[in-house]
């Protein structure tokens, strides 16, 4: 099993670096020997450095500079790989048009490199900016008249990590507070690292304002370190940590159950947690409408079985860097947006407020969601 896993990793690395190397350096470009040797060395060093940086940065040591360098390198080579593949299509079209090598291969290399650099620059800006507010109305047939128009602000996947984004965090809080939401949700993947490591970035969330409730559930990344410590920390800041439990929001004489479950990976983490919808709804009046927070969209089958009206999830980042969204779709039922599951359950999947790993967002913009609940 270990040998097979190593073989898969080596194969992926060869493809990830080999395709851009062939497209930019070799192919039929007939570059001068100095360009060929230099380009080959750059790709070889990068390929050797990536796994070392990722282990050093995201392993037990959590060396932040290594994580930043490794993540940026991963994002850069992914964009180069994707557009190098598309570059082969351009090369075929030029061949059909009668353009000969080395002009054809040099044109392909120039276009691929130009597009990749432009997308990485734009993607970095998109990842680092404060997200725009995305508004969505969701009809809930069981919603009482007193709750019609309830405003739910959603942030998720902030991934406070090796890049210090304390100022960004404060700016996100300011934007959320401008929404005058009744309920504010953080749907997991709060931070990468321990509370001691990331408290400075997370602490602005203490200033989030909500008329009725501030609620939080764990994502899969909390289980890489200390999920219970993050639950306790959010509680200490006045948030309701929905660790397989619920709160009730009441307005105008009508009530809404706001429940939350642990992430789907919780049980495998051996931290004593697991996702349990029935426990989250224990003691609740099941005739009331239910809003469920569950980090991963693929947790929706349990929500359907429990008769949940609306599940809110994150996790996917909308793919974060195109065309990774197609790979995300292999693991999750939805990548982004509002969808229906079963007869009565709806699912809203946020593209996420921050980013994980590579500090780029390409064709997958981040979001702060303002959801308004409506009676039909």
Phi, psi of 256 (to 5 degrees): -130, 130
The percentage of the chain sitting over the pLDDT mark of 70, rounded to a whole number, equals 100
More confident residue, 7 or 176: 176
pLDDT at 339 over 70: yes
Question: Is residue 125 within 8 Å of residue 151, measured between CB atoms?
Answer: no
The residue among 316, 304, 310, 284 whose CA lies nearest residue 373 is 310
Task: Please confirm whether the linkage preceding 102 is cis (ω < 30° from 0).
Answer: yes
> For 65-123, what is each residue's pLDDT tens digit?
999 999 999 999 999 999 999 999 999 999 999 999 999 999 999 999 999 999 999 99
pLDDT bracket for residue 8 (50, 70, 90): confident
Could you say which DSSP state residue 1 is in?
-
| Average pLDDT of every residue of the chain | 96
DSSP letters of 260-285?
E---TTTGGGTSS----HHHHTTT--
Q: What is the mean pLDDT of residues 29-51?
A: 95
pLDDT bracket for residue 28 (50, 70, 90): confident
d(CA 132, CA 231): 27
> Which pTM does this prediction carry?
0.94
> For 242-294, what is each residue's pLDDT tens digit?
999 999 999 999 999 999 999 999 999 999 999 999 999 999 999 999 999 99
Tokens describing residue 353: 């407020």
Question: Is residue 152 within 8 Å of residue 371, measured between CB atoms?
Answer: yes
pLDDT bracket for residue 6 (50, 70, 90): confident
Q: What is the mean pLDDT of residues 231-249?
A: 98
Give the per-residue pLDDT at 1: 60
Please write down the HEC assignment for all residues of 130-185: CCEEEEEEEECCCCCHHHCCEEEEEECCCCECCCCCHHHHHHHHHHHHCCCCCEEE
Phi, psi of 374 (to 5 degrees): -130, 145
Three-class secondary structure of residue 207 per DSSP:
helix
Give the per-residue pLDDT at 10: 87
> For 134-166, what is each residue's pLDDT tens digit?
999 999 999 999 999 999 999 999 999 999 999
d(CA 323, CA 88): 16
pLDDT at 373 over 70: yes
> Which of the residue ranges 4-18, 101-115, 226-240 would you say has the lowest mean pLDDT?
4-18
More confident residue, 2 or 44: 44
| CA 260 centroid distance within chain | 19
Three-class secondary structure of residue 62 per DSSP:
coil
pLDDT bracket for residue 320 (50, 70, 90): very high
């Amino acid at each position: 099993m270990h040998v097979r896993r190593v073989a898969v990793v080596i194969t992926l690395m060869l493809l990830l670096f080999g395709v851009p190397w062939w497209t930019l350096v070799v192919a039929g470009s007939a570059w001068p020997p100095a360009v060929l040797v230099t380009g080959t060395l750059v790709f070889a060093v990068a390929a050797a450095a990536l796994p070392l940086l990722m282990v050093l940065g995201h392993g037990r040591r959590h060396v932040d500079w290594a994580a930043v360098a490794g993540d940026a390198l991963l994002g850069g080579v992914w964009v180069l790989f994707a557009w190098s593949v598309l570059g082969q299509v351009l090369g075929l079209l030029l061949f059909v048009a009668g353009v000969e090598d080395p002009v054809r291969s040099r044109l392909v290399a120039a276009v691929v490199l130009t597009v990749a650099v432009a997308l990485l620059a734009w993607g970095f800006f998109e990842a680092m900016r404060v997200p725009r507010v995305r508004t969505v109305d969701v009809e809930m047939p069981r919603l009482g008249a007193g709750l019609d128009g309830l405003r739910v602000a959603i942030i998720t996947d902030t991934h406070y990590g090796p890049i210090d984004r304390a100022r960004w965090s404060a700016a996100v809080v300011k934007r959320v507070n401008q929404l005058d939401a009744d309920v504010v949700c953080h749907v997991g993947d709060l931070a990468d690292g321990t509370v001691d490591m990331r408290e400075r970035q997370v602490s602005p969330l203490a200033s989030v304002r909500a008329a009725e409730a501030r609620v939080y559930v764990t994502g899969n990344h909390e289980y890489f370190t200390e999920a219970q410590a993050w639950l306790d920390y959010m509680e200490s800041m006045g948030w309701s940590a929905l660790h397989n439990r619920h709160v009730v929001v009441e307005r105008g004489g009508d009530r809404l159950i706001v429940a939350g479950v642990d992430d789907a990976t919780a049980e495998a983490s051996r931290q004593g947690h697991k996702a349990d919808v029935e426990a989250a709804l224990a003691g609740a009046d099941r005739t009331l409408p239910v809003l469920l927070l569950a980090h991963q969209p693929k947790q929706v089958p349990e929500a359907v079985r429990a008769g949940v009206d609306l599940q809110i999830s994150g996790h996917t980042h909308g793919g974060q860097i195109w065309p990774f969204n197609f790979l995300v779709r292999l693991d999750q039922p939805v990548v982004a947006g509002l969808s229906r599951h079963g007869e009565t359950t709806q699912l809203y999947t946020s593209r996420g407020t921050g980013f994980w790993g590579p500090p780029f967002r390409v064709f997958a913009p981040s979001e702060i969601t303002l959801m308004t609940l409506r009676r039909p």
